[in-house]
Structure formats: C-alpha cells, structure tokens
Structure 1
Amino acid sequence: MELHIVIKGRKDLARQVYQQLRDSIVSGRLAAGVQLPPSRLLAEQLGVSRKTISDTYSQLTYESYLIGKVGSGTFVNSSAAYSPRRAAASHLASADVVAKWERISLPLRHPTRAGTLRYDFLGGATAKTQFPHDDWRRCVQHALRQMSGERGFYGQPEGLPALRNAIAGHIAFARGVRCMADDVVVCNGAQQALDLIARVLTGPGYSVAMEDPGYTPARLLFAAQGAQVVSVPVDGEGIIVEQIPDTVCAIYVTPSHQMPLGMPMSLARRHALLEKARRIGAIIIEDDYDSEFRYEGRPADSLQSLDEHGVVAYVGTFSKTLLPELRLGYAVLPAAILEAVIKAKQLTDWHTSTLPQWALSKFISEGLLNKHIRRCHSLYAGRRERILARITGDLSPWLETIPCTAGFHMAVMFKAPLKPPLDIHRLVERARDVELGLYPLEGFYNDAPPRDALMLGFGAIDLLDIDPALDRLRDLLLELD
C-alpha cells in the first residue's frame, strides 16, 4: 500500500515531502508507531531521488517526529503524534436523531483490562481459565483448511450449514428445542439476534412487552427501534401474563433463569404465556442465555419446546458457554419471521465471520462443547454452594437470596428493614476502594420500584477468592451499620 503524498511540479521536492509527512503526523493521520516505507521504495513511488527522501527522514527524525530502529526501519514517534478531535458541524440535519442515541446509557459494560478489580462479582463473565485453548486451536486450524478450499465468495447470511446443523443437534439434546438446521440463523452474539428480530417485528407505533425487572439492553434496543416498551411485573412464577396488553406485537422473556432475579417460569405460567401470544398474534422472544448450567431439580425444557403454534423465537448464545469475545449466538425462528430475519441479517452485516463458524461446528460435532459445559458446571456449582453457605451464615443478618436453580449469577436481596437504612451506592463505592466489584440490581428496573439488591456473578471469580471477597463485603456492612 502506497503512502499518500502528492507531488506538485518539480520544484522544492524535499519541502513538499517534508511538509506533507509532518502535517500527517501532527494531524494524527499517521498514527504513533506506524512504519514508513523504506526511502528507496518511497522514492520510486514518488518519482524523486532517494536522497530527497533520506534527507526528509533525517530532518523529521532530528525534530523527533520520526524514530529510526536499527534493523527494523523508520517509525512515527509516539511522543510526536496526536489526533485532535475535529470540530463538530455547526448545524446537523439529523441532530435530533443523533441526540437520541447519545442519551442512551449503556449498562452492563465489562471493564477493560486496566479497570479490573481483585475480586469481581461481575455478571455474564465466564471462567476463561477453563477454556480449552488447545482444542479450540485445533478447530481453528480445521477452519482455515476448510476456507482455503473455498472460492472467496461471501457466505450465506443465515450461517454455515455445518454450524446450523451442529447447533440444531446440540440444543435439541441440551434444551429440548424442536428445530431443523434450516430454522437456525447464526448471529454475532444473542444481542444481534435480538436486534434482528426487533427490526422485523417492531418500529414506531408498535409495542413490546417485557419483564420488569428485566434485561436492560433488550429494553433499550426495542426502544431504539422506535417501539413502545411496556413493563410487565414478575412474581415467583415469572412474568404476570394477565398484565400483558393485547396490543403488543412481541413479548420478551427469560423463562429458564429470569434476568436478573433468577427464578424459573412455572409450567402453568408458560402455557398461559403461549396461549396469550397465540390469541393476540404476538411473537414470544425467549432469551435462553445461560440455562445449560442447572444445579437443582429436574431439567426444564425450553419454552420453545412447548410451542404448538409457531409463536416462539428462541435466542441462544455461546458467550456464556464459551467466551464472550467470540461473539457467536443464534436464533431459532418460527416460519412467520424466518425469511424476514435472514434478509435483515444480510442487510446488517451480510454474514457472521466464517472462520469461527467453521471452528465452532467442529468443536460441537466432536463433543468438545458438551465436555466443556460439564467441566464448567462442576466449577460453577462449587462457587455457587460457597456463596450460598456464606449468605445463610455470617452474612445472613443483612442478605437473603431468591431461589435460583440455573445460570452463574444470583440475586441477593438486602433484608428489610435494615437499621440504619443501607445506602447501596455508598456500599458499592466503598467496595471498589477495597478492590471488590459489586453490582446493584436497580438498573434492571424500569417502572417497578427497585429493591435494594445485588447481582453476584460467579462465572469469573475463583473459588478460593470467594471467601476473601465476601469477608470484605461483611466488613463493609459492619462499617456502614
């Protein structure tokens, strides 16, 4: 790739090259650390003498804009390069639309590497130390071999047939989902699956019902599409079906492990929800995000497995079973919206990256996914038991849990009334001072009054770190009493 420099005429060539290179560095167009072409190559590209380029490089190096590394080449000096923010346009025709997006507060963002704490109960994070890197590397090598034999075309928006077939087999075995490979659309995580379904079902003038408290990113996504989001309260059996308006076009639920409270939806409530959706013509969006990890009672099949009328769109993800960074998820779609979602997928990003699709299909077909889930299940079960033991033990004066049988987070409620009243925001701030990450549930509530509660994720915290972390929580509660 050629460095963009324009030579005008044949006068003062060295000054022209010098000025353009310097301006590119100062403006940030040439970023810190970028390697410049060798002087001989750049001279050939520009049609000037090599001495002209060498002298220019020497001058910029003397002025600390460039730095030479013996045996490596010439690079933009990090101390000289910067990228100033461009001035905003004085008038923007779409200013109101831009402002709407700017006002959105993004919850549940995971910290950067620099922002991590010693003890962190972050929800949604997985046990990365358990990831089978050697097995995955072998599957990636298989993927590269598969891709080397292809002709360089774009893939199909719905995903590779091999992966769709593997997903259909896996979720039929693990979650009782009734589907064929043709019903599956591969997505960039569950969030894209929700986005695609929202695109084809909702818009201005349409209403979507969802649990309150519920998964906030889903609520924000539906609202961003222009839909009115109707908050429906939940009780110990899940969403209260009688309070779902007849006017909604979609109903978003997390029936296997309610987000964020954790209880499963009862069988009677599931049947009532399916009948409601059938009667009003709504699509149920079933987000089954982490229910492959179950610790108590008989396994509960998915809501989709009870659907006799094609009203459930089932959304799953590999972010919770493998790694969030892979960004692989899927949707199992009823016939009524399947073709529309496939077209929306192609218009959005054409298709999910083919390399991880081939790798994951190999990973599933060799039984490595089920093996990994079993290994993590044992790990999470031990962490869960230890947290429960502490909450029913020395933390019981302050805390209690909502019964939860699946997943790798639990909702922990503060007993009411505590005297003096607990300032949960003060608790969270003090916890960060002692390298402890705590996360209140209030951000998951919309219309319902929030309870003083925490989400304790135990996917990424080691078993040996749980007691020291909860010791710090106990000490903070004593301090704030």
Structure 2
Amino acid sequence: MDLHLQLGQGGLADQIHAQLHERISTGALPAGTVLPSSRELAARLSVSRATVVAAYDLLAAHGLIRSRAGVGTFVTGGPVAAPTAPTGSPLRARAIWDSFAVPDLSVPTAEFNFAPGVPARTKFPFARWRALVNDQLRSRTDVHYADPAGSDRLRTALTRHLVVSRGVHLAPEQLVITTGAQQAFDIAARVLLEPGDTVAVEDPGYLPSYRGFLAHGARVVGVPVDSEGLVVDQLPVGTRLVYVTPSHQFPLGMPMSEGRRTALLAWAARHDAAIVEDDYDSEFRFSGRPLTPLQAADREGRVLYVGSFSKTLLPTLRVGFLGVPSVLAEAARRAKFAADYGTAGHVQAALAAFIEDGDLARHIKRMRRSYERRHDVLIAVLREHFAGLLEPIESLGGTHTTALLTPGQPPDTVLAARALAAGVNLGPVSRWGIDRPGPNGFVFGYGAIAAERIADGLAALRRVI
C-alpha cells in the first residue's frame, strides 16, 4: 500500500499513530487492509523503524490493528466516526452552471420502451466487435499518445464511408475523431465562437447542443421550425453560427426541404455565418430520394459536419466525428488536444477494421430494414387507433417518430407520467423547447422495442389517454 502520512515537528510516533487512527476510525482504511511493514513505512517516511513500531504498538493496544509474524500487519477496527471535511469554500462556480442539470440518463424500466435515442441493442454484432477489440488489445505495442485528431487509418476509412454513403466532400485531414457528437459541438464552439456571439438553434431542438453553446458564453437563440425545417427568414441578424439537424429534425422528425437548405446556405453566405450540420439519423432513410447533406452542397466552406456512432452502433462506444473546412482543420485539431489527448486508440483501430471489412455498411443496411418495419407498424397503429387523439408528423426515416396531441388534451408531461406508471415509456415533446415550451406531443423511439410489441404498447398508451 502506498500510504501517505504528513509529518511535522514534534513526536513522530504520536503523529503516525494519530493519522492512522483517524483513517481507520473513519473507514478510509477498512478492516482487513494490509498495512506496510514497519521497515517499509519507516523507509518511506525517513524515520527510524523504532518510531513506526511505537506507533503500531499504540494502535494494537487500542485494538485497531493486529500483526502476524511472517504474514503482515492488518487493520482490525471498523469505522466509528464520519470523516471530517471542509464545510465551505470561498470558490464559486460560474453562474451559468446554476441553470444546468445533468438529466437522468438511465432508461426507466418499462414493459413498453419507446425512449428516443436508444438503438436496437439486441441487433448489435457483439461477437464481431468483441473479436476486433480483443485483437487490438493483444497486438498493440504502442503505449504513447497519438494524433489528437484521430488515427490516419480510421479517418481514411471513415472518409471513404462518408463520401460513398453521404456524398460529402471531405479529406481525412479535415476529420477530427471525437468522444461522441457532443464533443464535436464543443470543438466547433472552441474554434469559432467568442463570448457573447449569437448562436441560432432549432426550437424545439436538441438540448445538449444548446447547453453546450451556452457554456461557451454564447447568446443562444431558438428559431422556430415548420414542416420544411428551420425557418430561415427568422434567423436573427448578427448570428455567428447556426446549428441544425436537417436529415431528421430532432425532436419533430421532418427533414429539411431542398428549398430551405438552399436558403440556409445563401443566408450564411450573406451574413458571414457558420453552419453546424448534425447529420442525425441520416443513415436510416426509408423512402424518397436521398437528401444531400448541407456539407455536400456547400461551395463556400461554411459547413461543419457532425456525426456519431451512437445510433448506428452503440452510445457506449463514445465515438463521433467533426468534419471541417480545410482552413479550420489545424485549429480543430488543436481544440481537440485542448479538450483531451485523443480518443482511445484500440477503439479507433477496431472501428477502422469494422468499416474497412464492410461490417458497418452491412449493419446499417440490416438496421435500416428493421427500423423501417418498426416505423411502419407504429405509423399504422397511430393512424388506425389514435384518430382524434394524436397526429403523426410525416417522417421518412430515422429511429423515432413524433406525434402531436390534438387540442384540448392534457399536457404531454402529465400523460407521459401516467403512461410510465402503466408500463409505457416515451418522451414528451414539450421538454425540448428552447425559448418556449415545445409542442404538446410525444416522441416515439422504436430502437428499444420490437416490432411485435409496438401495437400492445400503443394500446396501453391509448387507455391512458
């Protein structure tokens, strides 16, 4: 045990005895703990062995330790008093943190789980992923820090995947591998924003990104969305950065129309603004022509492209990416280094192999079929059994569908609480409002519920409504 004791002037044996007595009595050294030998502790503290022996004898006399020849010295006493700690401090956190709260990220136990943002865990190829990770752990010999922007291998593999699957215009050196999408937003803010800059976000919208921009000292303004996505005409003058989810708006679910995409890019050019495109749920489009990402249509280098593997694979992987215009690549790399020294190397290598071998493309294709079936079942039941109660918002893909309560219904938060008590877990739309409460309705995620269970879950919800 690496035991730290602080010695000053006066009787050394008494000081050693007092500090060990305090740690044993508060449970910091629980019963059964093996203490250093008197010779070892004396050498560590630069005192005589007799001094340590005297301190140990006092502890033994109080019944707190016991020595066994040839075995060692053990703690026998248990905690008898609570540890003392400073009761206050003159330090104060910034006021912004008073308004923040870390939500309960655990998924409530419910018979029917429509929680949004949860992928189909049972469909994940755990055996293949485990083999890739184990192979990397066995074969890796490097123990040094690497490029904070990510491994060349992963960035090259991911770039090829994005060029083929999404049509984006990115080179490997324009990518930064991040710890999920949230860190990508954080890096974008570090690179582009000064305190007081205006950031526009969708309202209702994705609250974690909103809070992240606030934490950087930005003035964050909610901009309404309609059936075509963000209402570009209502963007405030002076906006420095616009955050959007154009492939599958969160939480309402509609894609941004082609006309609105063109208008947003033109607006950014006129007002010298940046766009952070969160390409959320883009992999799971079920019908209609593929939507061109803003990044692929950007001719001026104003779009920062964000994605993650939280929905395509698992949230616990904590891997995302940020694609930036070439002129920002080195600044983004440095911002990642300022945040941390890089994403875990063995995870990057395993993910690179997963992409290179075609596993990612096959998994996405398999999940697209599975989610389309769940989506279709959900929509069919809502239309057949919830007429006059819930109005689904048209969506063409993704891992969730949103439906709004008809006028005169109770608040969605009240109904959601009643539904949870009846075994149905879903998300109230109103909680995703930025400058005002969101619409009255529910977000139905279908990643965590089998298609065969959807009708029964909705029947339980109908009884509640």
The bucket for the TM-score relative to the shorter chain is 0.7 to 0.9
* Map 1:207-356 → 2, pairs under 5 A: 207-356=198-347
* Map 1:353-392 → 2, pairs under 5 A: 353-392=344-383
Instruction: Indicate the residue corresponding to 1:422 in structure 2.
Output: 410
The answer for unaligned runs of 5 or more in structure 1 is: none
Contact 2:26 2:79 in 1 (8 A): no
Instruction: Give the aligned residue type for 2:367.
Output: C
Q: Quick check: 1:36 aligned with 2:33?
A: yes
Match of 1:111 among 99, 106, 112: 106
Q: Quick check: 1:459 aligned with 2:447?
A: yes
Q: Quick check: 1:100 aligned with 2:88?
A: no
- In structure 2, how many angstroms separate the alpha carbons of the residues matched to 1:77 and 1:455? 54
* Map 1:76-91 → 2, pairs under 5 A: 86-89=86-89, 91=90
Contact 2:180 2:321 in 1 (8 A): yes
3-state secondary structure, aligned to 1:446: coil
Contact 1:42 1:53 in 2 (8 A): no
Contact 2:27 2:79 in 1 (8 A): no
Instruction: Indicate the residue corresponding to 2:115 in structure 1.
Output: 122
Instruction: Give the aligned residue type for 1:20.
Output: Q
- In structure 1, how many angstroms separate the alpha carbons of the residues matched to 2:78 and 2:379? 50
- In structure 2, how many angstroms separate the alpha carbons of the residues matched to 1:386 and 1:83? 57
Contact 2:173 2:329 in 1 (8 A): no
- In structure 1, how many angstroms separate the alpha carbons of the residues matched to 2:58 and 2:124? 50
1:324 Cα deviation from its structure 2 partner: 0.7
Cα separation, partners in 2 of 1:189 and 1:80, compared to 1, 3 Å: farther
- In structure 2, how many angstroms separate the alpha carbons of the residues matched to 1:16 and 1:121? 60
Instruction: Give the aligned residue type for 2:341.
Output: W
Contact 1:440 1:454 in 2 (8 A): yes
1:378 Cα deviation from its structure 2 partner: 2.3
Contact 2:403 2:442 in 1 (8 A): yes
What are the superposed Cα offsets for residues 61-105 of structure 1, whole Å, 9 maximum, x if unpaired?
Answer: x77x99xxxx9x97899987966774221x33xx3x433213213
- In structure 2, how many angstroms separate the alpha carbons of the residues matched to 1:78 and 1:119? 46
Match of 2:384 among 388, 393, 412: 393
Instruction: Indicate the residue corresponding to 2:46 in structure 1.
Output: none
Q: Identity over the aligned pairs, expressed in percent? A: 37
Instruction: Indicate the residue corresponding to 1:144 in structure 2.
Output: 137
- In structure 2, how many angstroms separate the alpha carbons of the residues matched to 1:348 and 1:424? 38
Contact 1:290 1:408 in 2 (8 A): yes
3-state secondary structure, aligned to 1:392: helix
Cα separation, partners in 2 of 1:344 and 1:8, compared to 1, 3 Å: closer
Task: Identify the range of structure 1 (406-415 vs 189-198) with the bigger mean alpha-carbon deviation.
Answer: 406-415
What are the superposed Cα offsets for residues 376-431 of structure 1, whole Å, 9 maximum, x if unpaired?
Answer: 22222222222112211222231121011121011111012x3xx41333222222
1:273 Cα deviation from its structure 2 partner: 1.0
- In structure 2, how many angstroms separate the alpha carbons of the residues matched to 1:75 and 1:432? 48
Contact 1:166 1:364 in 2 (8 A): yes
Instruction: Give the aligned residue type for 2:459.
Output: D
Contact 2:249 2:256 in 1 (8 A): yes
1:193 Cα deviation from its structure 2 partner: 0.3
Contact 1:124 1:320 in 2 (8 A): yes
Cα separation, partners in 2 of 1:12 and 1:162, compared to 1, 3 Å: closer
**Residue-pair matches, total:** 455
- In structure 1, how many angstroms separate the alpha carbons of the residues matched to 2:39 and 2:98? 47
Contact 1:233 1:448 in 2 (8 A): no
Instruction: Give the aligned residue type for 2:23.
Output: S
Q: Quick check: 1:46 aligned with 2:41?
A: yes
1:474 Cα deviation from its structure 2 partner: 1.2
1:188 Cα deviation from its structure 2 partner: 0.4
Task: Identify the range of structure 1 (328-337 vs 116-125) with the bigger mean alpha-carbon deviation.
Answer: 116-125
Task: Identify the range of structure 1 (380-389 vs 302-311) with the bigger mean alpha-carbon deviation.
Answer: 380-389
What are the superposed Cα offsets for residues 234-292 of structure 1, whole Å, 9 maximum, x if unpaired?
Answer: 11111111222331111111110011111111111111111111222111100012210
Cα separation, partners in 2 of 1:45 and 1:180, compared to 1, 3 Å: same
Instruction: Give the aligned residue type for 1:202.
Output: L
- In structure 2, how many angstroms separate the alpha carbons of the residues matched to 1:294 and 1:78? 60
Task: Identify the range of structure 1 (215-224 vs 20-29) with the bigger mean alpha-carbon deviation.
Answer: 20-29
What are the superposed Cα offsets for residues 142-179 of structure 1, whole Å, 9 maximum, x if unpaired?
Answer: 3224531x2x3211111100010111011112111111
3-state secondary structure, aligned to 1:316: strand
Instruction: Give the aligned residue type for 2:160.
Output: G
3-state secondary structure, aligned to 1:376: helix
Instruction: Indicate the residue corresponding to 1:3 in structure 2.
Output: 3
Contact 1:216 1:443 in 2 (8 A): no
- In structure 2, how many angstroms separate the alpha carbons of the residues matched to 1:434 and 1:370? 38
1:117 Cα deviation from its structure 2 partner: 3.0
- In structure 1, how many angstroms separate the alpha carbons of the residues matched to 2:320 and 2:428? 27
Instruction: Give the aligned residue type for 1:283.
Output: A
- RMSD of Structure 2 on Structure 1 (CA): 3.1
Q: Quick check: 1:437 aligned with 2:386?
A: no
Query: TM-score, normalised to structure 1's length?
Result: 0.85
What are the superposed Cα offsets for residues 216-245 of structure 1, whole Å, 9 maximum, x if unpaired?
Answer: 111111111111112221111111112223
Contact 2:27 2:78 in 1 (8 A): no
Contact 1:222 1:229 in 2 (8 A): yes
Instruction: Give the aligned residue type for 1:295.
Output: F
Instruction: Indicate the residue corresponding to 1:185 in structure 2.
Output: 176
- In structure 1, how many angstroms separate the alpha carbons of the residues matched to 2:464 and 2:395? 26
Query: TM-score, normalised to structure 2's length?
Result: 0.88
1:54 Cα deviation from its structure 2 partner: 8.8
Contact 1:285 1:312 in 2 (8 A): yes
